Amino acid sequence: MKRSDTPSDPRSHAPSDSTFAVVLAGGRGTRFWPLSRRALPKQCLSLGGGPTLLQQTVSRTGLPNERVLVVTGPDMAGAVRDQLPGVDLLVEPSPRNTAAAIAWAALEVERRGGSECFVLPSDHVITDEPAFRTALATAATVAESGALVTLGVRPTRPETGFGWIEMGEGDGSDCPVMRFVEKPPREDAERFLAGGRHVWNAGMFVWSPEALLDAVAAYLPGTTAMIKALRRGSTLADVWGLSEATSIDYGVMERASGIRVLPVKFGWSDVGSWSALLEVLPLGEGGAAIAEEVIAIRASGNVVHAAGKLVALLGVNDLIVVDTPDAMLVAPVGEAQNVRLLLEEVERRKLGRYA
Amino acid sequence: MKRSDTPSDPRSHAPSDSTFAVVLAGGRGTRFWPLSRRALPKQCLSLGGGPTLLQQTVSRTGLPNERVLVVTGPDMAGAVRDQLPGVDLLVEPSPRNTAAAIAWAALEVERRGGSECFVLPSDHVITDEPAFRTALATAATVAESGALVTLGVRPTRPETGFGWIEMGEGDGSDCPVMRFVEKPPREDAERFLAGGRHVWNAGMFVWSPEALLDAVAAYLPGTTAMIKALRRGSTLADVWGLSEATSIDYGVMERASGIRVLPVKFGWSDVGSWSALLEVLPLGEGGAAIAEEVIAIRASGNVVHAAGKLVALLGVNDLIVVDTPDAMLVAPVGEAQNVRLLLEEVERRKLGRYA
């Protein structure tokens, strides 16, 4: 492909006054336990000091607060509200996966006069913000035609834990989506990486509320019934249960036709577990650390989170060490995905104060 | 040998009103960093919750406060005083090793009318207190003859880091000392262990002040000059520098004749480093831990000190994990002796607040 992934002369414009962002902040992020808790989920953490992932997500859109909607759950609404004063929250009565939340948010954007809508996860890291904003603007232009647009991150490794998107032949910045492939086997992922026709599904979408709600109407009758009831003035709590508890990917994107994908490259990480800090943070003595001071002797590849403390590492490699005011975690980097096992044990022992 | 190491019918009596204990609490214990600090040395730590090593040492003597003297240094005098209200402190103007401290303490015991004196390190663990007190009483009886008596701990491993004492043939509970062997090579230590004629020098002594000061007079002229000046009313700070800066072992015990050794067995550990907690603390989930709660999954042999916290260990073995309010340590158990390297680095970087 000749085109640039992050065109410097996009068919773009500054976001119009009717552009909104919907930020999905309902996830729990158990793999960052014990720093993340039920009332302080991953998106509310500051992994590198400074603004939290959620705050970074909102500020990265470049949109004013009144054109940002944050969808979250009742457990974490307090933390989200504290971090984003002046931003409207949409608090789900209960978790029903992303499709219902996104459909409801589309209705709320429509009610506020929004003509286009960025849908963004709240717990990812993006290092190249100008490239990100250029990509959003480009995708918004594509969405003007009524298409559902998904951003597809150029892959950098044969990751088997992500969903992949196969791109068809495009004639501009964007391409048709040929196929979604959820968590492929290793050999497929390697082929996808080598072939250059696949990108990662990062869960970032751009569309008009009308286009999204039309697609919902085609595939999710329960969610559509909920939207109709809301339009008639029903209370959310009364009709929330009508919606399908499914993801936007499975419920809509993998079924709808005419989906466009915009391949992008802007230093993206989903920061899926503690080990990801080795990619996201600058590497220093002993590994990637958030701490007041690190002393490392014969130590490398470690992930350390001990805000405000001196951390002394002697002869240890590839360890995760997390300190919080009431709990500590020590595990090899290779066990990062299994941290949830500890949280399960916390709950089994009825130590809910640590969950 | 037919006799019992800890006779149940010793030639003993309850400590007389003129029995004193001198507790040596001047050491710094850098191998317990970062829990131990300049102002909070190892002896002031509670390694298992409850009383500190120093408090345990004093209470273990069975003597009333007014017959206990604690020798310490100016840096840590505050912590020692806080832990032992009602006990007289002897604060050394500067560290000059054990001989000067013990000689000065002997003078102070003599001034208080003491006729016999236990000299005890303040940072050891002893699990069998009745056996310990029986041993002290037995040693006191031996010391009545004017002998310098050292307690020799029956060895349980071929330890190369300790001093060993070769015993001659005894005719009762105690034996003559044939030879002191400082830190023997491995093969010698193994021979000593197998032979049954060697015990560990644990730095615990029993003698009358007169006998000790007589021996000091024979081998340490500077220290003797200091004692004489003190008797004449000199101020300690003015004459402290006259004393030899040497250990009681090297300065007196290894030179004097007629030293007696009482072999003992009372669950002794010098708790020389973090790894010793594996022997001293009860083993639980994941290893030896002082913590509010431990969750261990595929984890064993660890040493954890994180008072008041939940510690979650996942797939880690034989690690030392120490948490304090301002500093953390993570190292393999096998590196326990090298913790001082971290402290040296702390000082090199002028991070004295952590030292």
pLDDT in tens, B184-243: 999 999 999 999 999 999 999 999 999 999 999 999 999 999 999 999 999 999 999 999
* Mutation target among A273, A290, A298, A314 for the B interface, most CBs of B within 10 A: A314
User: Cβ contact (<8 Å) for B310 and A293?
Assistant: no
- Its pTM stands at 0.85
* Mutation target among A295, A302, A320, A321 for the B interface, most CBs of B within 10 A: A295
pLDDT at A340: 93
| Contact between residue A36 and residue A322 where contact means Cβ atoms under 8 Å apart | no
Q: Which residues from A are below 8 Å from B when comparing CB atoms?
A: 34, 292-293, 295, 297, 306, 308-316, 319, 321, 323, 326-332, 334-335, 338-339, 341-342, 345-346, 349, 351, 354
* Mutation target among A274, A309, A310 for the B interface, most CBs of B within 10 A: A310
Residues of B in contact with A345 (CB under 8 A): 295, 297
Q: What confidence category does residue A53 fall into, taking pLDDT thresholds of 50, 70 and 90? A: very high
User: Cβ contact (<8 Å) for A345 and B297?
Assistant: yes
Under 8 Å CB pairs connecting chains A and B tally to 121
Q: For B266-304, what is each residue's pLDDT tens digit?
A: 999 999 999 999 988 989 999 999 999 999 999 999 999
Q: What is the mean pLDDT of residues B113-132?
A: 96
Strand partners, A302: A287
* Mutation target among B314, B338, B340 for the A interface, most CBs of A within 10 A: B314
Q: Write the residue in B310, B342, B354 that is nearest to A314 by C-beta.
A: B342
Search chain A and give the residue with CA nearest B344: A295
Q: What is the mean pLDDT of residues A34-41?
A: 92
- Rounded to two decimals, the ipTM of the complex is 0.86
Q: What confidence category does residue A10 fall into, taking pLDDT thresholds of 50, 70 and 90? A: very low
User: Cβ contact (<8 Å) for B312 and A306?
Assistant: no
Q: What is the mean pLDDT of residues B109-117?
A: 96
Q: What confidence category does residue B8 fall into, taking pLDDT thresholds of 50, 70 and 90? A: very low
Q: For B124-162, what is each residue's pLDDT tens digit?
A: 999 999 999 999 999 999 999 999 999 999 999 999 999
Residue A283 has pLDDT above 80, yes or no: yes
pLDDT at B280: 87
Residues of B in contact with A316 (CB under 8 A): 319, 330-332
Residue A216 has pLDDT above 70, yes or no: yes
Q: What is the mean pLDDT of residues A303-317?
A: 97
Residues of A in contact with B313 (CB under 8 A): 330-331
Query: For chain A, what is the HEC assignment?
Result: CCCCCCCCCCCCCCCCCCEEEEEEECCCCHHHCCCCECCECHHHCCCCCCCCHHHHHHHHCCCCHHHEEEEECCCCHHHHHHHCCCCEEEECCCCCHHHHHHHHHHHHHHHCCCCEEEEEECCCEECCHHHHHHHHHHHHHHHCCCCCEEEEECCCCCCCCCEEEEECCCCCCCEEEEEEEECCCHHHHHHHHHHCCEEEEEEEEEECHHHHHHHHHHHCHHHHHHHHHHHCCCCHHHHHHHCCCCCHHHHHHCCCCCCEEEEECCCEECCCCHHHHHHHCCEECCEEEEEEEEEEECCECEEEEEEEEEEEEECCECEEEEECCCEEEEEEHHHHHHHHHHHHHHHHCCCHHHC
Q: What is the mean pLDDT of residues A208-229?
A: 98
pLDDT at A252: 97
Q: What is the mean pLDDT of residues B45-66?
A: 93
Domain residues of chain B, as ranges? 19-269, 274-354
* Among the four given CATH numbers 3.90.550.10, 3.30.2270.10, 3.40.50.1370, 1.20.1050.10, the one describing domain B19-269: 3.90.550.10
pLDDT at A210: 97
Mean pLDDT of chain A: 93
* B315–chain A nearest CA distance, Å: 6
Q: What is the mean pLDDT of residues A59-84?
A: 96
* B174–chain A nearest CA distance, Å: 44
Residues of B in contact with A334 (CB under 8 A): 315
Search chain A and give the residue with CA nearest B337: A314
Search chain A and give the residue with CA nearest B306: A328
